[in-house]
Structure formats: structure tokens, C-alpha cells
Structure 1
Amino acid sequence: MIILVILILILLNAYFSLAEIALIAVKEHELKKEIDSGNIAAQKVKILIKDPESFLSVVQVGITLLGIIEGIYGGKFVAEMIDPFVSRHFNLSPTILRVITTCFGIGLITYLTIIIGELLPKSIALQNPLKISMWVAPSLVLFSRIAFPFVKLLTLNTRFLLNLLNIHKGENQKITECDLKNMLSTAYRQGILKEEELVLHQNIFTYDELIAEQIMKPAVIVEIISNNASRTEVTNLIKSKPYSHFPVLDEKTGKMIGVLAIKDFFLEISIPWQNLIRLPFIITQNTLVKDIFFDFKEKNHDFGLVMKKKTEFLGIVTMQDVMEGVFGDMPEREDYHKYFYKVDDNTWIANSFIHLQRIRRELSLEWMREYEMKYITIAELFSGLLHQSFKIGDQLKLHNVIFTIIESEIDSIKKVKIELFPTV
């Protein structure tokens, strides 16, 4: 009979452990679906987790009471069971005998309680917290009403101590950006997200901080039309390049005066092409990419000139560049392979103006994201990390990659070799 009572006490302990972990681990969005479908048990779960101090107090009251009863009766019962056996085989004084058998009895009960009453139910609860929390909620609510005085006292004492420690309710309940990133990484490792889906989500986090200079096509690779060019020269250039817009340069002032759209150029063949030049849509180098998107959308643009202090031409930004900030690389129309190309499986050559973002995407170096917010080009990466004059042979070693300057002139970098090594 006593063995049955002890077993029941251990199972009750398991019930409270099961309830505790299930209520802590239940996901709010899953619970909301059940509540919206009219599940009464889910509504009771919501009541319990809304006030965590109270339900934790309920659980603690239950576990503590069970522990006291188990200790008093369980240990004593086991001690009395093994007392005759020990006394027959060992010549011990009654006092020492009682100490040994009592310690053994308490130890055995504690072991069974830890395994059956704690670890096993908690592991089960973590596997399906929603289902288990809805199963235990009705009975736990009932027990909380029965034990209300003790629960209230424990809750008030807990809140008093939290206030004393300057820990306020809800402070740790907010999900941070780091939490979300960790969740996404976990989902990828578990096979829930595909690699391209993970990259898309990661891009969303960095998109909010991207600026024009980080996504633009640098001036050195932009095809520019001189305002002195003949229509024939312009026609030949347009036909040789897969672009819809071209920046126009005033040869006298050396400044960009506008943009030529090839649609206008071929539709208005009777008009001097210089009269078809549109006013440029100017974007400052530090304009946020998200702001560029909304400006393009509101003002019906898809092409802009990136300028520094409104005079120095840095490059161009198109709607495609803006979209690549989130969705990743799209089919290229620029001849980037001239400036960033593969030598062999582990070696690449990049001109100094190549963006770190492009290197990261091309070589799948996700760790480079941490540098992209500080440095835009590979030249800036060297400037920011070395703080010295540059010469051929200077190196940067980051993670499993070595960057080596292979061409330079007058303290400026021209080309860099990128070598990838297997991670240890």
C-alpha cells in the first residue's frame, strides 16, 4: 500500500514538472490558433501564462508539498524495509544502522523522483508543449484555486524581490533581432528553411541599414555619353550595351548634366539627341536604400545618379540594385567579370572598387556581413583595418580568407587576390 502511495506521489511530482515546462515552452502563435478556434483549454493556458509568477508558485507549492511527504514517509518506509537485511549481514550499532538505512531510503526516493518525477516529464513536455499545456491547464487552474493563499503569498514575495532587484515584468519577454537571427539559423540547420530562404531573411535585417554607396555600380564601370557625341556615335554605343539609361557628361564643365533614355532616343529621331536629355534624379551617397525605393516608386523613376556633395559623380543606382539588396544577385548586365574573376577553385582577383557585398555573395562568405556596415569596397576594408600606406604584398587574414594586394600605385590599391582556405 505504501509503495503505491509513493508511486502516486512521484507521478504527481511528474505532473507538476510536466505542467511547468509545457507552460513555459508553449509558443504563443500556436496557442492563439487554438484560442481562435474556440478551444477552452487553450484559453485556460492563456490565463496561466499571462501571470507566470502565479502558475510557477502553484507548481512550486505542489512540488514542495509532495517532496515533504515523500521525504517523511518514503524514506522511512524504505529504511524499514532494508533494516532487517542490513542488520543480518553487518554488525552495526542501532544508531549507525538507522542512519545508513535512512540515507539509502531518502537517496532511492530522490533518485526515482529526479528520473521519473523531473527529467522524464520535462523532456516529454518539451516535445509537445502545446498539447500537454492544454491537457494540464484545467486541473492546474483548479489546484491554484485550492492553494490560493499559499500561491498569493509566494507571488507577492516573488514580485517584491524582483522589484528589489530592479527586474521588471516583461523586460525579458521582447524578442530581439539577435533572437530572430538565431531562430532562422536554427530553422536552416533543421531543414525547415532552404539556403536561399535563409539568405533572403538575413538580407531583410541588413536592408534597413543599407545606403546608396553600398549598392551602386561604381563610376569606373558606368558607360557615360559625352554631350559632344554625334547621334551615330551614341547609336553605336547604345547598340553595344544592354542598358536602358546612360548618364550624360558635359565635356566643358566635367559635370553630369542628365540622363538619356534609349526609348526617347529612338522614338525622337528628328530631334537633336541633346534635347532629349532628362534632368538627373540625384541620390546622395548616404541615402538609405529603403528611401531610394520609395522615391523611385513615388516619382516613377528607376535610375539615379549617386553624387558626393552634389558635384562628384560616384556611380548609378537602378531599381534592380535596390531589389538585389533584399533578393540577392539578379542577372548582370555589367561586365563585372573583368574586375572580379575566378582564377581557380580557391583564388579570385578583385579590383579595389568591388563591393564587399558582392564578394560575400559570390564566395558565400556570410561572416563578411559584419564588415559591410563599416566598409563598402575591398579598398576601404584594407584602409580601415591596416591603417598604413599600401604596398604590393600587404595582407589581411580574416577567418578562412587571405586578401593580398597584388597591384597598387601611390598609396592606393588597384587589385587584390582573394584566397580561400578550408576551415579547420
Structure 2
Amino acid sequence: MNSTPMENRKAAYNTDLFSFLTASPTAFHAVHEMSRRLNDKGFTRLEENNIWAPTPGSYYVIRDGAALLAFTLGSEESSEQGFRAVAAHTDSPALQVKPQPELSGCGCRRLGVEVYGGAILSSWFDRDLSLAGRIAVRLQSSPTSKLFLIHFDTPLLSLPSLAIHLNRDNTEKLNRQQELPPIMMEAGEKTPDFSTILITRLRELYPQVDFEHCELTAFDLFCHDLTPPCLSGLQGEFIHAGRLDNLLSCHAGITAITGPDRSRNTLLYCSNHEETGSLSISGAQGNFLSSVLSRILPDPVSRSSALASSFCISLDNAHATHPNYPEKSDSGHEIRLNKGPVLKYNASQRYATSAATAAIFCDICHDADIKPQKFVMRSDMPCGSTVGPMTAAALGIRTVDVGAASLAMHSIREMTGSSDPLLCFRSLTSFFTGDFHFV
């Protein structure tokens, strides 16, 4: 059977998404991969510690290695006419390695870890785990430590479940201090310490750097699953992968903003630390976005006018209705995989969607021949949130909360429909290029 053009387009898009996910085991790697793609598409990197006044063109800025802001000053619009903005986040729930992590006992060396974000901890057991992140090293040739990305691309860690014979009640409650340290190696007289293992890996990754007599000074390291993304289902209807929340959105945003049409003012803001509250130098409660906007538009009156003419899509994965637990969802708002982007509503403004902003997004989807779904949490259950409300409140920019439908959110291995990533991308392309008015 011959494939249709749309099926071919979906397959090519998902192949590129899988490459992006594989290259992005941490937020630091995701930003590195996004910057590589931006460079390839002609974007110019700007440094925050330099003075710059960008003219029409495409640019990007990185803060603290894990947050990225890309923007195009359109060829047919002035900055004062506002921006079409997309907000997402680069981080995902994980196990973060402690500063002095080495633990020994029962003939094994383990790593002490903290839980980063709202991880489904049971999903981390009995998997092929590895380490990735960034490391600060003081080289012999420099008095100042330098940062390096690091990634072990082979199985390095394991977190074995306790046998059912020793845990008859099979409780799901875990002691995070005692039961989560993954096993790294056998302990013995010749077992290298953790810093030696890291420096050895750096030598493999950066053969051009002289690490002789260097000193490891600090690190931000995370455990992650090595299982690659894949399609499943009889006809490849589903996607299984780690970190879909929210790298699926980052990928859609970076692919849309690097498109060939650069006539409009567009902006992509990928912040860090959303999973822990966003209160950080690189989080959405920080000043990264407002700082960059104030440099694009130094005049406060012009900036306020531009923001009042702007519109933001907060793109973060949405809950699909689970077929095994339909009672956990609102019966009047069934959300299905492969049925289009999901508009997210909440009366307490945990999502930023209003009738006005939802109508604009529906117009965007109509232009792209997409029909959005509508989600609301059960009234007797607490609702999560996104960077949308804080971005809207801080900047006074009208915002809508949207996301790709997904299952197993915050598991080490999440699930979405194989059509959903492309549908999100198509809605963003329509948003960035269509003839819409936001006032």
C-alpha cells in the first residue's frame, strides 16, 4: 500500500523528533541541540553580557545553559507591533545526583540521588539507566573552572526492584533516601571514585582538551533512561519516549520558528525548572524573558504597547483520558490521542486560557485544518499548572494553554499519539505565519 503525502510528512517529522529526544537527555543537552538547529537555520547567538540592539533578523540567547529564547524581528513588521510567542520548558522529572553521592554497602557502590520534579518513581526501577548533565572542571591551564556537557551513552546504573518474596504487600510507598540510590558498580580496592569516572568520560568526549591534573569542582547530573523512542500499536499509532513532557513542545517550537517565512515577529521561550516551580535564574519566574524584551524594545511605552499587541501559546503536554481509569477524567471532556492539540481550561487560572484566548487558538487551528480538543480537570481533583499563567501575569500578554494529549505523564517513559507532534507543529506554523489579529 502506498503512503499518502501526509503519512510521509508525519513519519519524517517523528523521525526528527526522535533524533531530538535522543540528543536531549537533560535540559542542558536540549538547549545545546536547539542552539545547533538555530545555527543551522541562520540564527545569530547573542550574549547577555554584551550590549546589543538587534535589527530585523533572527537571533537567540541562552541563560545558564538550560533556558533558551529565540526570536525573529520580521521583515514586514516593526517590534512595536508585538510578537507571536510560544512558551515551553526544557526540564523533565528525574533523579538528580547529590554533590557527594558515593554510597557503599553489600559489595556495591551506589549514587545518592534527589527526586527532581514530580516523577513517577516506580517507573525508574529495572531499567537501563545512564548519567548526563554538565560538569565544572578546573584545568591546569586556567584558574577558572570551565563547564562541559557530559553523557554516558551506555547502561551505567540500575535500580533493581525488591523481589516480591521479600515484599509481600508490594507497597508502592518508597523511602526516597534509602530505596532510590541506583547501583553503579561493584565495590572493591581498585574501584575508581566518582570524580575519576567523570573525568575519564570527559577525556573520551573532549580529546582536544588537556585534562591532566585537572580538578572536578561541581556538577549538575541526572539519571536518565537509555531506551530509545519508538512507535507502537498495530499501525504505529502511538509514540513511547522519555521526556515527551515537555521536549515534544520544545521540538515543535524550534521547528516552527526556524521555518522559511521570517516576515512576522516571532518568539520561542524555553525555560528551565518548570517541574520544580520555575523560581530560578533560568525559570519562568525569573527575568530572562522580560530582560530580553526590554533590550529589544528599550522604551517602556513602546514595550507595553507591543506586549498588548502580542499573543502567547503556552505549550505543555495535556492529559489524555486513560482507558483503564476513565473515572479520573471529567466525563464531559474526553481527550483522545491523535485527535489534535488540547485547549486547557481552569476556573482558578492554573491555566491561562480564557474565552478570548481560546477563540484565537481555535482560529489558528481552523486555518491549519485542525480541530482542537478541550480539557478541564475533574472538579474534585487538584489541577496542575504551566508557565502560562505566570508569563501572562508578569508581562500582561494574553496567553492560551495548549498541549499534545499524552498518557503516563511524568513517567520515565511517556506516551502520545504518533499524529500529535505534527499536529502541534502545524498549529504553531499557522500561528507564526497566518494573518491573525490579537487586539
TM tier relative to shorter chain: under 0.3
Query: Greater strand percent: which structure?
Result: 2
Larger radius of gyration: 1
Query: Which gives a bigger RCO, structure 1 or 2 (Cα 8 Å, sep 6+)?
Result: 2
Query: Greater helix percent: which structure?
Result: 1
Give TM-score, length-normalised by structure 2: 0.22
